[in-house]
């Protein structure tokens, strides 16, 4: 394990509501303001040892996490305004939260973004802070940005995390996405259908030996081409899609149904959201990407193949509705139609109305992923990091090898804690069934 010495550069793809809430929060915590609520790396205590040897250690005492004081922030975005102006526009945090760190936020100005309006049609023609060129030129420009940022800020290492919009849905194409060589060839011929902008960021980061985290449901690093490059360059990657609101609740409620052997007829989920994310997802081709991510959660928890009489015919519907008056205040409704003893329904339902600030829930997840993947890099772990599934809505897995994603929140937390114990030199002593 390499120590967490020196500066850690955190480069956010997207300087919108999530990124500015994350950055402003970390800057505030460094000044002794606020609370790191929702952050496992900052707030949790993890048991090590058993019996009389049992102790509960903060994560930073268990493993050498990077200190918040050592983080340097940068970003790319299609909009040119600095982080303070972007945070004010996002209207997640109030001026009372932002003004004490205003100078630091104003100093963060986004680099021009690698962007293709065909992948996010609702943002076409907006912003103007853009790179130009082919897909391979995008990659080289992004690599140069990373090298320059690292040198200019005296960083010892970097992490890149995608906190930008959900791209349109694209299918996995074996002839392009199956191998690193095939993908490199697609870059060279400027294939703008099969190579998305987010893939350019990921490819550039891996070529630079920089860990990459995918915070949206885009088809990006969850392809064999990226896995091969990550292994070749010995770089950790993690994805995909931050787990914050409605899906977080699903990974709690579904295990309850399974452990109590309660049957499920249907699960209807709908959301209203008014921020830029909601605007982007109002386009059907972008919503499709998110829908696939959300729909894949409950089957792996309920296991219909093992208990078909309880979960063999579940009707699962997901909707997201753009509603501008709400801004970043997301509201979700879930209705579960359940059955139990004697197979009786009698109108039994579970209804959940979750009102939250999407970015307030996402910001600590971003911090935990950044610190954890930096830890993985220093520990010599590379390739996909399934132990980070605790923070992600649609954990990456290799379906071609029969792998199943782990979606049960409590089992995910066990895996996360065990990895931290192992990296801290302790026995990973919790087991999964």
- pLDDT per residue, tens digit, the chain (433 aa), is 999 999 999 999 999 999 999 999 999 999 999 999 999 999 999 999 989 989 999 999 999 999 999 999 999 999 999 999 999 999 999 999 999 999 999 999 999 999 999 999 999 889 999 999 999 999 999 999 999 999 999 999 999 999 999 999 999 999 999 999 999 999 999 999 999 999 999 999 999 999 999 999 999 999 999 999 999 999 999 999 999 989 999 999 999 999 999 999 999 999 998 888 888 888 888 888 878 777 778 999 999 999 999 999 999 999 999 999 988 888 999 999 999 999 999 999 999 999 999 999 999 999 999 999 999 999 999 999 999 999 999 999 887 777 889 999 999 999 999 999 999 999 998 887 6
The pLDDT assigned to 399 comes to 73
71 membership: H or E segment, kind and range: strand 71-77
The pLDDT assigned to 146 comes to 98
The pLDDT assigned to 291 comes to 81
- Name which of 65, 116, 35 is nearest 370 in CA terms: 65
Cα→Cα distances 327→91, 257, 380, Å: 8, 33, 41
The pLDDT assigned to 273 comes to 87
pTM: 0.95
The pLDDT assigned to 151 comes to 98
- Name which of 389, 379, 393 is nearest 421 in CA terms: 379
- Name which of 36, 203, 78 is nearest 135 in CA terms: 203
The pLDDT assigned to 284 comes to 87
Residue 94: count of CB within 10 angstroms of its CB: 9
CA distance 407 to 302: 10
Q: State percent of the chain over pLDDT 90.
A: 88
Structural domains of the chain, ranges and CATH numbers in brackets: 7-242+360-423 (3.40.50.720), 246-357 (3.30.360.10)
């Amino acid at each position: 394990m390499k120590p967490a010495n020196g500066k850690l550069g955190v480069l956010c793809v997207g300087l919108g509501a999530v990124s500015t809430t994350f950055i402003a929060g970390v800057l505030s915590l460094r000044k002794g303001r606020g609370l790191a609520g929702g952050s496992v790396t900052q707030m949790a205590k993890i048991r090590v040892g058993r019996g009389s040897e049992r102790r509960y250690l903060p994560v930073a005492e268990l493993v050498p996490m990077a200190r918040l004081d050592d983080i340097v922030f940068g970003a790319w975005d299609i909009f040119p305004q600095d982080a303070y102006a972007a945070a004010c526009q996002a209207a997640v945090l109030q001026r009372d939260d932002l003004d004490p760190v205003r100078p630091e936020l104003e100093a963060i100005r986004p680099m021009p973004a690698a962007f293709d309006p065909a992948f996010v049609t609702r943002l076409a023609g907006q912003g103007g802070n853009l790179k130009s060129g082919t897909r391979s030129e995008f990659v080289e420009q992004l690599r140069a940005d990373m090298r320059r940022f690292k040198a200019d800020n005296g960083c010892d290492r970097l992490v890149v995390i995608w906190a930008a919009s959900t791209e349109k849905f694209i299918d996995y194409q074996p002839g392009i996405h199956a191998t690193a060589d095939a993908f490199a060839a697609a870059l060279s011929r400027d294939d703008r259908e099969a190579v998305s902008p987010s893939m350019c960021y990921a490819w550039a980061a891996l070529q630079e030996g920089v860990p990459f985290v995918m915070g949206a449901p885009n088809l990006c690093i969850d392809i064999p081409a990226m896995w091969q490059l990550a292994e070749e360059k010995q770089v950790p990657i993690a994805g995909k899609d931050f787990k914050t609101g409605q899906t977080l609740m699903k990974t709690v409620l579904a295990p309850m149904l399974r452990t109590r052997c309660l049957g499920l007829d249907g699960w209807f989920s709908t959301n209203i959201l008014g921020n830029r994310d909601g605007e982007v997802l109002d386009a059907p081709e972008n919503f499709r990407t998110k829908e696939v991510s959300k729909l894949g959660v409950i089957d792996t928890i309920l296991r219909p193949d093992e208990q078909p009489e309880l979960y063999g015919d579940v009707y699962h519907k997901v909707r997201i509705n753009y509603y501008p008056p709400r801004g970043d205040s997301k509201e979700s409704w879930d209705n579960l139609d359940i059955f139990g003893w004697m197979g009786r329904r009698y109108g039994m339902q579970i209804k959940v109305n979750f009102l939250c600030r999407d970015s307030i829930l996402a910001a600590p997840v971003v911090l935990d992923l950044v610190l954890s993947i930096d830890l993985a890099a220093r520990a010599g772990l590379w390739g996909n990091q399934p132990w980070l599934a605790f923070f992600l809505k649609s954990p990456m897995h290799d379906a071609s090898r029969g792998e199943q994603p782990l979606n049960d929140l409590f089992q995910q937390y066990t895996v996360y804690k065990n990895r931290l114990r192992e990296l801290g030199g302790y026995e990973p002593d919790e087991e999964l069934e």
